[in-house]
Amino acid sequence: MKSLRSRWILFVYATHKRKDFWNGWTMSKFQVLMGFTNLLAITVGTVTATNEIDLKYKIVASISAFFILLVSLMRVLIALTFKQALKIEQNIGKF
């Protein structure tokens, strides 16, 4: 299990080592916040829908908003993993 975790950290570190990373990290947090806001707004709209046609479209919209939020959360997970890998590299550099 630990080996799998180490491989994941190294994979993420190797694929995301670039200078604009921290800007991307800030954007990821912003996207998650916007995803939660959109999901909340669409859920409230679904609950307050007046007829069946509106309800169908709003349910589809809420499902798509959920998947957008899921992708944003995955980006944050990758960013956190990269941050941890960066700390590991700095600790290795001390020896």
Dihedral angle computed from the Cα positions of residues 75, 68, 32 and 78, in that order, rounded to the nearest 10 degrees = -10
Q: Which amino acid belongs to residue 16?
A: H
Half-sphere exposure of 39 (CA within 13 A, CB side): 15
Q: Measured between alpha carbons, how far is 32 from 38 in angstroms, rounded to an integer? A: 10
Predicted local confidence at residue 50, as pLDDT: 63
Predicted local confidence at residue 73, as pLDDT: 74
Q: Would you state the structure tokens that stand for residue 51, as one six-digit string?
A: 């007829």
Predicted local confidence at residue 30, as pLDDT: 66
pLDDT tens digit sequence for 39-73? 777 777 666 666 666 777 777 777 777 777 777 77
Predicted local confidence at residue 75, as pLDDT: 72
- Mean pLDDT over the full length of the chain: 67
Percent of the chain with pLDDT over 70: 42
